[in-house]
Chain A
Amino acid sequence: MVCDSYPEDMDDVDTVRRGLIAAVIGGVAAGGVFSPAATYLDQFAPLSGDVWNATIDQPPSDVDSPHGRATLQYDGRRVPEVSADEEAALYYAVGYAHGTDRLFQMDLQRRLMRGQLSAVVGDAALDSDEFHVRMDFARAAAANWTALQSRNPTVADILEAYAEGVNAARDDQHLPPEFELLDFEPADWTPADTLILQLQIAWTLTGSFETLRRARIRDALGDDYDALFPRRYDHDSPILRGSASFAERRSADSDAAVPDAALTDWLSAFESPDGVGSNSWVVSGDHTDSGSPLVANDPHLSLLAPPVWYQQHLDATDYWVRGVTFPGVPFVVIGENHAGAWGFTNVGADVLDCYAYETDGGQYRYRGEWRDFDTEEHTIEVADGDDRTVTKRTTVHGPLVEREGQRVGVSWTGLTATATTDAVYAFARSDGLEDFRAAVRDFDLPTQHVVYADRDGNTYYKTTGRIPIRRVDGEAVPGWRVFDGSAGEAEWEGFTPYGESTWDGFVPFEEKPGAVNANYVATANQRVVDDPQHYLAESYSTPFRGERIYELLDGWAADRDLTPADMRALQTDALDTRARRLVPRVLDAVDVESAGTPFDALPDWDYRMTPESEAALAFAAFLDAYRERLYSEGFNAAGLGEDDWPTDWVTVHLEDDASWFERAETPESATAAVGAAVDAAAARIADEGWETYGDYNVVALEHPFDQSFLNYPEFETDGSPATVNNFRRDSDVGASWRMVVPMNGDATVVLPGGNDGDPFSESYDDQLRAWADGDYYTFDRTFDGRTVRFGGGE
């Protein structure tokens, strides 16, 4: 019905109605602009939302470069090929690619290391910021940059060109979506930022407060300590085999002081996540089908969305190089070039010492005199909270880290200028073994095992990085205790924190383990040699992976020549030698048939941790329960936690007559613990509804924001913390890059995710499924995607 006639008294009703409607529409508009809803509308409204503008924005076709012509072209996996005649132009374009694809990740990492996370994420990051401020990594990076400019102007110029490229990408395009979500803009990228990212990687690999942790555990456990925490594991698969039986090194002196749990636990939060390590090996052409060497590497780092690595291919006039780098670092770190290929694994060398001091207010005693701490007030900015002021203190040894009245001085080899950047730059240009070996001498940090092969058929293995020699009363001592800093005990000769070091008192390059043209050398973070000339490490990783790699290489090499396919099979090998040791014991102790599914699959199991395996599920759940049974109550009673439990090497070798079982809070014996653990595991499997190992072993990688649209999809996968195919579901650590490089063919590779950091890009996670399935792709040279041409500046 249409109201043709309109009574006058209805006018008032109409006015009210129109007023109400106008208020609703106006209210929505005003609310959308002025209320908290404004953020969501500004970010997520279709067509105009900042997040969408960020993701649909692509780099322009033409970019002005102050360094001249270069071309950047992506392949179908968003891997860039960058080519230029001049290196400054080349690395400007590399910076542009990193700034386009990974800018948020780069900014987040430098904020972490500079102690500036709280400024954007709030007080949840305050502890982290305080630690990083006290360690003053920023000052170390600045010292490194100062030294680099005078030591190697060529590399310094490249870092500056790279930084300019990053900033140009930032200025030319919308910022990545994460910046829109957190509503901040990144500051200029600088060469010191590149150097601080290198420090971040080095800290992840070598920043260990194991000395403090072990001291606390030793105090808490007393006589049981040695059996549960041996300095050396008894095995026959060191990296370099055939050396004499190892000698136990013992430090006769005790710790100068043992900080209590408040400091140790706080520091432990900023160490490497559990399981950081790697595999690599190099096989001589004498043992390969092609007659040319093979190099394989899979570094085990935190698995993140996006990945820690960025793939790139660079073409210069007189060399090409491709592989992976850390976003923020211009040079290929692991990869191959026109002359050879190389990879790295972690040594686990002891390059961090702690010192206790006699103190009095703002002074500490040092070699008979009282000295003032060098102090500096630093304000940590906190988003939506009160800023925190931290007093940074340093001694002659380095930073003083403090918590609840507990303090230790810290020396770490990363807190001084290093030539690592020179080395990585030189790797890309190296023309073969001798060039590469010369470059390795400059690789000061972190301590790494490098494997290398060149296209002339040479192979090389070397322990790299600066390793201090500690001396007490003129005698070399291990670094596994807290030293008396006031007495000047065990100081590192030639080390200058936050300055330039001479490295006089460090292990000479020639005296670090190495091998040229060996048949094959395999590194998996296990003991380097049985009897090293110098003290190298406080402890090494469990040798499960190392022994398995050598077991397979020895077996295959005895029968036939090796191929790249063998190397891929070895990298993805899922046989768990923990199971091989422990399952027979379970079968002896328990009637697994009566335990039912999946335990009844254990007798016929091949010990492979594969998704379809019922037995692998049974073993994994059993081992979790077995550790719990063995250690939980005993360690709790000693004031220790799960993070303090012994390694699985100790667990699988723990015998019934171990003194550990004499404690009131521990099981009667290992055998008794097995039975109880099977029952607990069966109950857990039933509760969770798991049927096979694939239900348990899921790779679920999270973005730092842990939002569903930013996290990676979940996949079941092979492997365990002890298999060559290394995957730790509890800490999301595993193969962060798999690479097999024959010297006479194309490399095969895979990344656990994708090369593009944009969460809406197809290449955000386009390699993840292949990674989870143990597949690879050929790292060929087909680049037919979007092209960016750089010009000007000549």
Chain B
Amino acid sequence: MRRIVLAGVVLAAFALSAVHWLGLLVGGVAVGLLAGSWPRALAGGAGFGLVAWLGFLAVLANAGRLDGYLASGQLLYVSLAIPLVLGTVGALSYFLRTRVRTA
């Protein structure tokens, strides 16, 4: 059940990410809250950011802009860092839970 909820929430977060960057943070928060342990939470948050970025690459590729993006240097690094950082920070939400798994 938790996986279904997780999948639904993550999809919603992707949709939100398409209109605002807060979607990346929200996605991380959702992953963190639903994770079984803090390492999983943080890995899941970063993973969410990475998947969002890969989805972004697909959008660029579809528009014929992937090569230009991959050659953009600084912009590439910034736009990769943003989802990774936001997803991971959002996943800190794991520690908002009443009881946390410490190992």
Contact = CB atoms under 8 A, between A and B. Distances in A.
Are A and B genuine complex partners? yes
Interface of A: 1-3, 6, 14, 17-18, 21-22, 24-25, 28-29, 32-33, 40-42, 44-49, 51-52, 55-56, 58, 707-709, 713, 758-762, 764
Contacts of B90: 25
A3 B53 CA distance: 36
15 contacts: A21-B92, A21-B95, A32-B86, A44-B75, A45-B83, A46-B52, A46-B79, A46-B82, A46-B83, A47-B56, A55-B68, A707-B74, A709-B72, A709-B74, A709-B75
A25 B25 contact: yes
A461 to B, nearest CB: 42
Given A1-B103, A46-B52, A764 B68 contact: yes
A24 B88 CA distance: 12
Nearest to B18: A47
A47 B59 contact: yes
Interface in B1-27: 14, 17-25
B89 A28 contact: yes
A14 B98 contact: yes
A707 B78 CA distance: 14
A49 B102 contact: no
A49 B53 CA distance: 12
B52 A47 contact: yes
Most buried by A among B23, B80, B89: B89
* Residue from the set A24, A25, A41, A707 with the largest chain B CB neighbour count within 10 Å: A25
A7 to B, nearest CB: 12
Given A1-B103, A44-B82, A48-B19, A21 B68 contact: no
B23 A761 contact: no
A41 B92 contact: no
Contact of B95 (A17, A28, A42, A759): A17
B101 A761 contact: no
Given A44-B78, A46-B79, 19 more contacts: A2-B101, A21-B96, A24-B92, A25-B89, A28-B89, A29-B25, A32-B22, A46-B53, A46-B83, A47-B14, A47-B18, A47-B23, A48-B20, A49-B79, A708-B72, A758-B68, A759-B68, A761-B65, A762-B64
B54 to A, nearest CB: 9
A2 B36 CA distance: 11
Interface of B: 14, 17-25, 29, 52-53, 55-56, 59-60, 62-65, 67-69, 71-75, 78-80, 82-83, 86, 89-90, 92-93, 95-96, 98-103
Contact of B17 (A25, A47, A56, A707): A47
Q: Does more than half of chain B's interface fall in helix, strand or loop, or is it mixed? A: helix
Given A28-B25, A47-B52, A55-B63, A41 B103 contact: no
A3 B89 contact: no
Nearest to B25: A29
A708 B75 CA distance: 9
A29 B55 contact: no
Given A47-B56, A58-B63, A760 B24 contact: no
Contacts of A48: 17-21, 23
A47 B99 CA distance: 35
A614 B89 CA distance: 56
The 6 closest A-B pairs by CB, nearest first: A760-B68, A45-B21, A46-B56, A56-B63, A709-B72, A760-B65
Contact of A3 (B68, B74, B99): B99
Contacts of B82: 40-41, 44-46
Contacts of B18: 47-48
B74 A708 contact: yes
A21 B55 contact: no
Contacts of B80: 46
A3 B103 CA distance: 10
Given A25-B25, A42-B21, A56-B59, A708 B73 contact: yes
B71 to A, nearest CB: 8
Contacts of A760: 60, 65, 68-69, 72
**Most interface-central of A49, A56, A58, A762 (chain B CB within 10 A):** A56
A3 B95 CA distance: 14
Contacts of B29: 25
Contact of B64 (A3, A29, A761): A761
A6 B102 CA distance: 13
Contacts of A1: 102-103
B60 A56 contact: yes
Given A45-B83, A55-B65, A709-B74, A18 B96 contact: yes
B21 A41 contact: yes
Greatest chain B CB density within 10 A among A40, A52, A760 is at: A760
Nearest to A26: B25
Nearest to A764: B68
B55 to A, nearest CB: 7
A25 B93 contact: yes
A29 B17 contact: no
A634 to B, nearest CB: 44
A52 B72 CA distance: 12
A621 to B, nearest CB: 31
B2 to A, nearest CB: 17
